[in-house]
Amino acid sequence: MSSYLGLYIKMKSFATDYKSKYYLLNPYVNAQVGPVAIQSELSYYFGKAKEYDNAGNTDVKYDSMAYRLLD
């Protein structure tokens, strides 16, 4: 069995002058190969952690990947 999850998240704080926009891609697999059961998952986040409205600040990008493999 395999599946895929995709999310788009957008946040705006009223206490600061920036907003956050990032995406999550999260495919996973569950498989039975003979007597061995395998589970695998990948999480990949990317986007902007801080996107400022004014031109004086530099945007902060966000890029992260994690994986898990179990048998």
- Dump pLDDT digits (tens) for 14-59: 777 788 888 988 888 999 989 988 899 999 999 988 888 777 788 8
Separation between Cα atoms, residue 58 and residue 71, nearest integer Å: 44
Residue where the block lists tokens 């031109």: 55
Q: Does the model's pTM come out above 0.85?
A: no
Cβ–Cβ under 8 Å, residues 67 and 51? no
* pLDDT given at position 1: 67
